[in-house]
Each structure stands twice: as C-alpha cells, then as structure tokens.
Amino acid sequence: MPGESGSPQGDPECDCNAAVWANTLMGLGIGSGVLTIVSSILALLLLSSPVLNAYLVALGLVAIATELRKFAALRPLVYHVVKYFYFITSWSGKAIFYIFVGTIQLDPTHPLALIAGVFMIFIGFAIFVVRCKYTLPKYWDLEEKKREMEEQAARDRKKLEEEYEKKLRAATAVAAAANPAGPDAMSMPTLKTGHGSPPAAVRSRPMTEDEFYGDYDPPKAY
C-alpha cells in the first residue's frame, strides 16, 4: 500500500522536501540502528553489561525494521516485528523511541556506545524539528487495518447486543405493568361450565360429571 503524504495543498516543493527529509531520516535511522548493534556486540564480547547490551541489540534491530516500513514489499514482514511496539510506526513515537534508546546507551567508558547514543538522540530531536515544518508521509499496514476493522466490528456487535437486551428488558417491564396478575393469568380460561359453576381456572376441587355436562344428557348405553 503506498504511503500517503499530507503536505499542504498546492505546494509541490513542500511535498518534495518532505519526501527528501523522510528518506534522509530513514537513512540516519538505519545507520543509528546498525551502529547501536555493532557497539553493543563489541561490549558483549568484552562482557560489559551483558543484559543491557543484549537488550540494545534487539532495540537496534527494531529501529532498522521500523525504517524498512517505507518499502511496501517489506512491510508485511516487518509488521510481525513492529506490531508489539506499534507506537514507533508514527513519527512522534519513533522520535521518542530514538531518544530513549540513545539515552540508555550513553556510556563514557565505551566511546562507540557513547557515539551511537548521541547519534540516536540527535535523530530523535531532528524528527521533532522536521515535523514542525513538514507533514511527513505515513505508511499503512494492511494487517493493522484489518485488525482495527475486526475490533470495531466486535465493538459494534457488542453495542447492538446491549441495545437489544435493553429494549427487551423495557418491553418485559411494560408487559408486566400492563398485566399485574402475572403472565399465567393471560392464558386462563374464562368460560363457565354448566349450572353456573365457577371458571375452571379458579376451581378448588375436580369437576363432577353433572358440572361437566350441565344441561346436556349423554346417550345411555344399552
């Protein structure tokens, strides 16, 4: 899916500059990621802060993967990496990510790590500055859009179910108010039997044969 550029209308020079800056920042980001990985691997070989440097190697790979989202052919593959840190797919999120990673690798005892950290912090602030002047392109992930649509459909379905249950409870309350005797009273027979006997619904004893037949005289068997 192609990237979308939201630069000011009627200003092709601004579009061109935004694209140039986006490509420049991408190159700097990939370079900073590679530098972070190299400096962290060298520190691991020296057994210096192994946990932190292993963490920095992983973050360097994430930084490179984030920049490769510019290429539509690589975007589905890269999505499986960045979906766990999806905030870094926005320019603001990426800037914060670079500043954070650069800060945690500022180690005066390792010059290369110090350079990598300063470089990453510089890129983070550079992104904020460029965004103040240009609207940088956005790159959409088809898988993320599909996930958002599925979540929205689930929310809509849940909302409809809640509305249905609410209307059902309201209708039940109205029916109960209109028939205080309860739902069984609606189906009670109201016909009277012979000899003025009371309705069958309110009988306290079984009907006799005379009450059942009333004035009707059944044929006798011979």
pLDDT at 218: 54
The answer on pLDDT for 51 being more than 50 is yes
pLDDT at 206: 59
pTM: 0.61
β-bridge mates for residue 138, sequence order: 4
pLDDT at 202: 47
CA-CA-CA-CA torsion sign (62, 64, 69, 74)? negative
The model's pLDDT over 159-196, given as tens digits with 9 standing for 90+, comes to: 888 888 888 888 888 887 877 665 555 444 444 444 45
Token pair, residue 11, equals 């200003």
The answer on pLDDT for 199 being more than 70 is no
Q: Provide DSSP, 119-181.
A: HHHHHHHHHHHHHHH----B---HHHHHHHHHHHHHHHHHHHHHHHHHHHHHHHHHHHHH-TT
CA–CA dist 67, 26 (Å, integer):
5
Give the start-to-end residue ranges of the domains of the chain: 12-145
Q: How confident is the model at residue 215 (pLDDT cuts 50, 70, 90)?
A: low
CA–CA dist 197, 39 (Å, integer):
103
Average pLDDT of the residues in 36-57: 91
Stretch among 72-86, 112-126, 141-155, 208-222 having the lowest mean pLDDT: 208-222
The answer on pLDDT for 74 being more than 90 is no
